[in-house]
């Protein structure tokens, strides 16, 4: 089972180096596309992606510099800046490498999807529980 997970992970990772973007940049585009305004911040993306604010800022800065996203004033609080996809970012998501995986998942039965989701959720929950707390050494 471990070998299958490793192989699956490597395949997904290699597919995610598409169109000049890396897996973390794709994750950021997906995140921004699906998050509400409150969650479209550097800090929220960092927490969601289990990374540091500095690393998240670098990823998002690169996407902004390349024209995939922009920072705009919040509609709720003009002092706050939120992330937004540009038309280039939206177009890139049309070619999202993970869309292929979604197509394959759509071919599975509800029973297969439920069983797979149950295993993945259990594994993820157990792995996250064992991560060091913020500021703690591993």
Closest CA to 32 of 83, 67, 87, 70: 83
Give residue 12's pLDDT: 81
Residue 101, pLDDT score: 84
Write down the pLDDT at residue 59. Answer: 96
Per-residue pLDDT for 138 more than 70? no
- Among residues 93, 73, 80, the alpha carbon closest in space to that of 25 is found at 93
Q: Tell me: pLDDT of 41 over 90.
A: yes
Asked whether the beta carbons of 105 and 117 are under 8 A apart, the reply is: no
Residue 17 belongs to a domain:
yes
Per-residue model confidence (pLDDT) at position 130: 86
User: For residue 64, is it within any domain?
Assistant: yes
Does some domain include residue 46? yes
> Containing domain of residue 110, as a range?
2-129
Find the mean pLDDT for residues 46-63.
94
Within a domain: residue 113? Answer: yes
Write out pLDDT tens, residues 69-122.
Answer: 999 988 888 888 999 999 999 999 998 888 888 888 899 999 999 999 999 899
Within a domain: 138: no
- Domain assignment present for residue 100? The answer is yes
28 within domain boundaries: yes
**Which residue matches tokens 């995939």?**
68
Total domains present in the chain = 1
**CA distances (Å), origin 100, targets 15, 18, 46, 106:** 10, 12, 26, 10
User: Would you say residue 44 has pLDDT above 80?
Assistant: yes
Query: Would the pTM count as exceeding 0.85?
Result: no
Residue 101, in any domain of the structure: yes
CATH number of residue 116's parent domain: 1.10.10.10
């Amino acid at each position: 089972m471990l070998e299958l997970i490793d192989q699956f992970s490597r395949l997904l990772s290699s597919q995610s180096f598409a169109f000049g973007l890396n897996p973390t940049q794709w994750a950021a585009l997906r995140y921004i596309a699906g998050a509400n305004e409150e969650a479209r911040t550097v800090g929220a993306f960092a927490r969601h992606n289990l990374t540091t604010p500095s690393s998240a800022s670098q990823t998002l800065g690169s996407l902004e510099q390349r024209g995939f996203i922009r920072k705009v004033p919040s509609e709720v609080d003009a002092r706050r800046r939120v992330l937004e996809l540009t038309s280039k970012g939206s177009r890139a998501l049309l070619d999202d490498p993970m869309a292929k995986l979604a197509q394959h998942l759509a071919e599975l039965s509800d029973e297969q999807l439920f069983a797979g989701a149950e295993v993945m959720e259990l594994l993820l929950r157990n792995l996250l529980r064992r991560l060091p707390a913020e500021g703690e050494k591993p």
